[in-house]
Structure 1
Amino acid sequence: MTHRISIHRIKAEIQVKTSRSSGPGGQHVNKTESRVQLIFNIRESAILEDQEKETLLAFFKSQLTNEGAIIVACESNRSQLKNKEAAFKKLDRMLAKAFAKKKKRKPTSPSKAAKQKRLKSKKIQSEKKQQRGKIDF
């Protein structure tokens, strides 16, 4: 699957929760809810196609809740708005990563020069070891 899911397409199904942050802010932290949590339930999504759901569920299998939801939290800023923007960006990056095409590994072999260099170093090491032997009188 080469396409990716747009955050704007699923925005209606994303639940936003706020809570008190443990991040920077001093006394400000104790009275404002600057921490933002985004909850997106993949299994119950009406917008996503079955193939997209399977891809996301497989990719995020270790990060999902029991209900099949992914939770993204952000509390790095003092501002709730900045945390909300950061959380949406984080979710967008995660979704893009889930649909990124995997690069196929091209097997390579060592070059002729690399082989010669390895053999030369082995020869030097071998000579070094031989010189450490017992001396006959």
Structure 2
Amino acid sequence: MIRITPQLAIDEREIGLQFIRASGPGGQNVNKVSSAVQLRFDVAHSPSLPEDVRTRLLRLAGSRLTTEGEVVIEAKRFRTQERNRQDAIARLVELIRRATEKPKPRVATRPTLASKKRRLESKKQRAETKRGRGAVSE
């Protein structure tokens, strides 16, 4: 089990890991060893996620989301499979943790009387400036 929050955990069997060849540093080693990790997590069909977290996660995933509802995370920052695997899982955990935070509801406020007066005063100033740019009468 991968612990996301004290109340939420996902089963490791829900995560698919595939090792692929990475680009970047590594010399000849990069052409021989599949050290990059492609992590796939099926958000749309995961039994571990509550519905509200699922909808926020689908919105947060952005371009990492496939049409089937899977989040794909590629980790190729490190030269070893194990470090890249840990990095990919940590990035998934962080993404899900951000999805668990409920957005603070917006509280509608009204403008103060002073701010209304300032706005009207600046509009009058602007109108006066533009009126001064008109044709000059003789």
Identity of aligned residues (%): 33
Q: Deviations over 1:27-83 (max 9, x none)?
A: 3211111101222345665xx35x7368526742771453x5433221122222221
Give the stretch that moved more between structures: 75-84 or 57-66: 57-66
| Structure 1 residues 118 and 38: alpha-carbon distance in aligned structure 2, compared to 1, 3 A threshold | same
**Count of matched residue pairs:** 130
Q: Deviations over 1:1-26 (max 9, x none)?
A: x97532xx412332221111013323
What is the distance in 2 between the residues matched to 1:44 and 1:129? Answer: 61
In the alignment, which residue of structure 2 is the partner of 1:5?
A: 8
User: How far apart are 1:102 and its partner, in Å?
Assistant: 2.0
Structure 1 residue runs without a partner (length 5+): none
CA RMSD of aligned residues (A): 3.1
User: How far apart are 1:98 and its partner, in Å?
Assistant: 2.7
TM-score, normalised to structure 2, is 0.71
- Kindly provide the amino acid, as one letter, of the partner of residue 129 in structure 1: K
What is the distance in 2 between the residues matched to 1:127 and 1:25? Answer: 67
In the alignment, which residue of structure 1 is the partner of 2:114?
A: 113
Aligned residue for 2:118, secondary structure, equals helix
Aligned residue for 2:50, secondary structure, equals helix
Structure 2 residue runs without a partner (length 5+): none
In the alignment, which residue of structure 2 is the partner of 1:126?
A: 127
Q: Is the 8 A contact 2:56 2:99 kept in 1?
A: no
Q: Is the 8 A contact 1:34 1:79 kept in 2?
A: yes
- Pairing of 1:1-137 with structure 2 (within 5 A): 5-6=8-9, 9-42=10-43, 48=47, 52=50, 55-56=53-54, 59-60=57-58, 63-64=65-66, 66=68, 68-137=69-138
- Kindly provide the amino acid, as one letter, of the partner of residue 54 in structure 2: L
TM-score, normalised to structure 1, is 0.72
User: How far apart are 1:94 and its partner, in Å?
Assistant: 1.9
